[in-house]
Structures are given as C-alpha cells and as structure tokens.
Amino acid sequence: MPAHLECITCHKQFPINQVLYQCSQCNDLLDVAYTFGSPDPKRLKVDFLNRKLSPVPQDQSGVWRFRELLPFLDRFDSVISLREGNTPLWEVPRVAREAGLQHLAVKHQGMNPTGSFKDNGMTTAITQAKLLGARTVLCASTGNTSASMAAYAARADIRAVVLIPEGQIARGKLAQAIDYGATVVQIQGNFDHAMQLVRELSGEGGAYLLNSINPFRIEGQKTIVIELMEQRGWRPPDRIVLPAGNLGNCSAFGKALREMFDLKLISRLPKLTLVQAAGANPFAQMIRSGSRNLIPMQADTLATAIKIGSPVSWKKALRALEWTHGDVVEVTEGEIADSRALLARDGVGCEPASASTLAAILKLSREKKLMFSEEVVAILTGHHLKDPEYILEYHEGKLSHKGAIIPARYQNSLHTVAAESQALKKLLFDHDK
Ligand SMILES: *Cc1c(COP(=O)(O)O)cnc(C)c1O
Ligand SMILES: [Zn+2]
C-alpha cells in the first residue's frame, strides 16, 4: 500500500484502514500520506482531461478523475459518487473593475450535486466509511456538511446522524438534510458544542465521524484546487481567496498545492488568502498576534457557514499559510452582504459565507494591497439558494446583525401594482414624474 495515516506533528504512522481521527501518541491531526513515486506530469494531465469523455462514473467525477493524487484505494470501481466537482471557473469583469483588477475569476463550488464544496470531500470520506464497514456516519454541521453527508450516506445506504445548532442553520440546508433521510438533531448550543459532542460520540455503535477532522474529507477537497489549475492550463494564479470556518478547506488547498508542486504539475505556489468574518475570527486573531496557539471564541456572524469559534484544523491551516506565504483577512457583516449582492449583479449568485471572498478582495484593493495585474481567483463555496431568507431581508432593507440594520448598497426593491396596463406603464416607462 502506498498510503498511510501520518501525524502532522510527531509524524507517527498508522495503517490506512485504522479508524482514527487523531494521533494516538500526541493527539494531533492526521494526514493521509503517500509515496507517490515520480509519474510523468504530462501524462497525468492528459489522463485527467481524457477521463471527462469517458462514460465510467469514477472518470466523470471531478474528484475521482484526479485519483493519482488521492491513491488511498486499491481500486476505484466502487466509489460512492454523485459526479461531484467539474465546477465552472467564471470571469467576473464588472466586479473586477470595482475591485481595481484587470482580471478576477470565481470558481463556483456551489455548482455541486448538493450545492457546496462539501461534496468534493464527502465522496472520498463516504467511500472510505463504506470500506471500513461503518454502519452509521456522524457529523456536526453549520448546514452544508449535513446536506452533503445525508445525500452521500443515502447513496451508500448508510445511516446518517447530524447534529446542528438549533435555529442557526440556513433553511435550504436543513431542508436538504431532512429530505435525504438523515436523523437530524438540533442541539441547544452552537456549532462548537455540536462538534465536541460528535467527537465524544464517534466510535459508539460503529459510528464514523465525517467532519473535516476526518483526513479523507481533505483528500477529496484537494481536487478543487487541482481542477482550478487544470482550468487555467496549469498556470497558477497569483492568489486564491477562500472563506475560513473550521479551516478544513484551506488545509486541503495547502496540501494539494504542495503535492502538485512536488509532482511537478505546477512550478510555483499561489498565495492563499483566508477570509474570516469579524465576529468569527479566532484564526485571524491568532495570526495577527503572532501567536501559535489558537484561542477559541464565541462566534457571531450571519454567514452561518463560517460561524465557528473553535476551528478544528487550525494547525493544518497554519501550515498551508506558511507553505504559500499566505495571509488572513477579516471582513464586516456589511462588506459580506454588499459583496454578495454585487456578485449577483454580475449574474453570479452565492451564499453569504462565499461572498466573504469578494469582500476581502475589495478590502485589500482599497488598502492598495493588490496590484492591477494580479491574477486572483475567489472560491465561491455554496449555492445561491442555500439561504434565500438572507437575500430577501437584504433587499427589503431588513437584514440586521446585533440589533442594527445593515445598510444595503445594492438594494433592489420588489414592486406591487394593480393588475392593469396603465399602472404598469406608469411604473416602467413614465420617467417624467
Ligand atoms: C463549510 C463551508 C465553509 C467553511 O469551510 P471550512 O472548511 O469549514 O473552513 C465556507 N463556506 C461554505 C458555503 C461552507 O459550506
Ligand atoms: Zn503525533
């Protein structure tokens, strides 16, 4: 077997098929680690692309078509896949102008089967769960993990149990988890409490934990940035901007970039810019203070997908920042709300947490920390329709945080008129009023 589990701190190794989320020696996080050998990078690139034309499910998947970079299975013909990945990379020229950039592109992970990037990691983690003979899979979730896990567990015919913070997840996500047949339990606490509880519960009755502390989730999420490089002809951008909640995705991006560099698929590493909401910024605070010890906080933001005060993967995220000479930016509720609406004006809808990326780009631009020619890619993590209440409240001028209304710069009001053409003409064409 070329794959094993390896502690990120003491580097103790464990067999790939051991059910383990933390090092038994020092309790730190685990990586899935490989001995890759030295495959021909040109050959790999051709194989990745050609698989898109194949009718075989594991070739069509935008995760498994990159399987040489996630070789933890002996064979790939029984993977649990919903044809995840293969998401679009779009230029957003009008938004770019606003940000003072020559080019700006977004990679939209919301265009996945359950509407978020969690699908990229769930296909790999559920496949491993099935292999290990798990009878129940378990997660704590701010919403999207539960929707994704519930769908993939249903496909794999495994029982799904989801813990969510009561009243704090977007309606679209809750609807999905319930509909896919998961056992959904609201707890009277926040995400961090739910996370603590599932860690205590894992192992009970053969339950397997599918939060991003599970290193097999990270393996699938690596393909987001691998596919991005493919879409750019393997020319890395200068900077990749992504939201940071539990810090699993940044960890995956860091690992992917390192491995692509080592395999000579790319010749340099782009900078990773991680974005946190000002009310949920424990990682930003740690980096700012120059400390190497994360202090948990009580998280508070309307961008519920990143409302996390005690991120599990902070050490892997720190490693990703060091590898890529990256940085962390924090943005306000108002900046997130307006950025989300601004993207929508360019025909690109996304959920609030995803728009924190544009908020950070606009902020860096205002602070003259971006060059006009810099090539920037923002990762949009979740679908437009995940949180319609947030959108409507914004346009009604009712979106509020901590009791204060958030002014809506791109407000678009709903009109109501009598059902007759005179009234319509007056509303639509009478400019002399
Ligand atoms: C999960 C999620 C995030 C945060 O990702 P982490 O890996 O927890 O840092 C951001 N945006 C959306 C839409 C998400 O679902
Ligand atoms: Zn260890």
Nearest in space to 253 (alpha carbons), one of 304, 215, 300, 219:
219
- What is the CB neighbour count within 10 angstroms for residue 280? 26
Ligand 1 midpoint to CA 6 (Å)? 24
Ligand 2 (ion): which residues have CB within 5 A? 7, 9-10, 12, 23, 25-26, 28
Q: What's the token pair of residue 173?
A: 């996500």
With a 6 Å cutoff on the Cβ, whether 172 touches ligand 1 is no
Mean pLDDT of 194-221: 94
Q: Which residues contact 392 (CB under 8 A, 6 or more apart)?
A: none
With a 6 Å cutoff on the Cβ, whether 247 touches ligand 1 is yes
Q: What's the token pair of residue 199?
A: 């860690």
What's the CA gap between 36 and 265, in Å, rounded?
Answer: 13
CA angle (392, 394, 400) in 5-degree steps: 120
Q: What are phi and psi of 368, to 5 degrees?
A: 60, 35
Q: Which ligand is nearest to the CA of 170?
A: 1
Q: Which ligand is nearest to the CA of 245?
A: 1
What dotted CATH number matches 89-115+216-405? 3.40.50.1100
Q: What are phi and psi of 102, to 5 degrees?
A: -65, -45
Give the chain's mean pLDDT: 96
432 pLDDT above the threshold of 80: no
What's the CA gap between 260 and 225, in Å, rounded?
Answer: 10
Antiparallel, parallel or unpaired: β 404-405 and 400-401 = antiparallel
Contact call for residues 230 and 41 (beta carbons, < 8 A): no
Q: Which residues contact 387 (CB under 8 A, 6 or more apart)?
A: 170, 171, 172, 173, 304, 351, 352
pLDDT digit string, tens, across residues 320-351 = 999 999 999 999 999 999 999 999 999 999 99
As beta bridge partners, residue 327 has 273
With a 6 Å cutoff on the Cβ, whether 114 touches ligand 1 is no
431 pLDDT above the threshold of 90: no
The residue ranges of every structural domain in the chain are 1-35, 89-115+216-405
With a 6 Å cutoff on the Cβ, whether 99 touches ligand 1 is no
Contact call for residues 256 and 312 (beta carbons, < 8 A): no
Give, for 91, the enclosing helix (H) or strand (E).
strand 89-91
Q: How far is CA 19 from CA 30, 79, 155, 233, in A?
A: 11, 19, 22, 38
Alpha helices, DSSP H, located in 275-332:
282-289, 314-324
pLDDT digit string, tens, across residues 94-113 = 999 999 999 999 999 999 99
Q: Which ligand is nearest to the CA of 316?
A: 1
Mean pLDDT of 157-182: 95
What's the CA gap between 154 and 130, in Å, rounded?
Answer: 12
Nearest in space to 169 (alpha carbons), one of 189, 154, 183:
189
With a 6 Å cutoff on the Cβ, whether 223 touches ligand 1 is no
Nearest in space to 114 (alpha carbons), one of 193, 67, 182:
182
With a 6 Å cutoff on the Cβ, whether 212 touches ligand 1 is yes
With a 6 Å cutoff on the Cβ, whether 116 touches ligand 1 is yes
Ligand 1 midpoint to CA 427 (Å)? 42
Q: Which ligand is nearest to the CA of 311?
A: 1
With a 6 Å cutoff on the Cβ, whether 277 touches ligand 1 is no
What's the CA gap between 214 and 216, in Å, rounded?
Answer: 6
Tell the residue nearest (CA) to atom 2 of ligand 1.
305
Q: Which of 111, 142, 283 to mutate to test the pocket of ligand 1 (most atoms within 8 A of CB)?
A: 142
| Residues 213, 252, 158, 193, Cα dihedral to 10° | 30
Q: Which ligand is nearest to the CA of 25?
A: 2
Mean pLDDT of 168-196: 95
CA angle (113, 83, 142) in 5-degree steps: 35
2 pLDDT above the threshold of 90: no
pLDDT digit string, tens, across residues 250-303 = 999 999 999 999 999 999 999 999 999 999 999 999 999 999 999 999 999 999
What's the CA gap between 10 and 130, in Å, rounded?
Answer: 29
Nearest in space to 49 (alpha carbons), one of 86, 84, 15, 77:
86
Please identify, by atom number, the ligand 1 atom nearest to the C-alpha of residue 212.
Answer: 7
With a 6 Å cutoff on the Cβ, whether 229 touches ligand 1 is no
Q: Counting beta carbons within 10 angstroms of the beta carbon of residue 17, is it exposed (0 to 12), middle (13 to 18) or buried (19 or more)?
A: middle
430 pLDDT tier (thresholds 50, 70, 90): confident
Tell the residue nearest (CA) to atom 14 of ligand 1.
305
